[in-house]
Structure 1
Amino acid sequence: MITGELKWYTVATTLEAAVYGALTDSPDRHGVVPGAIAWDACDCGMLAVSIAQVYPSENFPAPQAAKVGACDAPYEVGEVVVQVIRCAPNAEGQSLYPTTAALDASARQVARDAHEALRAVSVRLCEMNDARDISDFLVRPQVIQGPQGGCVGSELRALVSLMRN
């Protein structure tokens, strides 16, 4: 079981490595980031993983609603966010809009990234659960994000349960 003060960082780095290794077109920028994931430079793409929240739970995945006896809940649940971001097509030359070919290529890239990220996270969490590194997990719906600020991509969230220590 993953434990210690850096247990959530360990979960995040494990998932980041799994997704990075699964991407057909791996971005140069990748890693675990604190807090909300900033889309500040997607000229070369970006894979970012963050822990959005952590909460006590007596019954995964529900947050603890009330104090349990004299002790806290036996589990902590962390919400892991995985984003794969690419550049969104922009207008070129005198055109006021991107070409349909550029939009199609972007849609293909985002779809491939989303599929590869979802598969990598699902497989790795299943392996971690089988190895009893984690207590349980639940992969949430994947959402396509953007385009915004010249970027487009996918966001995947997963709930992961660890024993409290």
Structure 2
Amino acid sequence: MTDRVLPEMQVPVDQFEIARYDLVLWAQLQSSFALCLYDEVQEGGALLHMQIGRPGHVADPELTDNTLSTNLLLLDSCIAELRHSDPRARHWQAKFVAHSDERRGGRELALGVQSFIEAYLEDVGIGLISAAVHSDESLRLSFRPSMGQLRCEPVTATTQRLRQIT
């Protein structure tokens, strides 16, 4: 039996991607967060990748109305498109992972965004399965929606492994 290699798709910051077939969605988290959405029965899912705070103001621990309204618009679009892509799915779940720069007060901001996301998900009937805020080096997050599998590793570990392969 041979292991098949799954296609990968990068999700840039302030965007989302819907998985309509089995693939790995990935994002590099650096002062940003990822919301991984999937249905535990069907194979659909999505990865939403967003900046924590406004560019240039990431160190400000206050969540502004602009930040929240931007997050809400993108969240609404992602959830609507996800539900439209798989109308039979009824068991939506989510995983939240964030990276913050602790030296600049980013952890408080990330925790504020996490609270906002938790309340939003509860309002739309999606269960939050796990949440984590990391403050070390930036992360490479890989998410396979069809299986609900999530993996995070430091970017330097990914780079070192690629150098060993080539």
| Same-fold call, TM cutoff 0.5 | no
| Structure exhibiting the larger radius of gyration computed from Cα positions | 1
State the TM-score, normalizing by the size of structure 1. 0.34
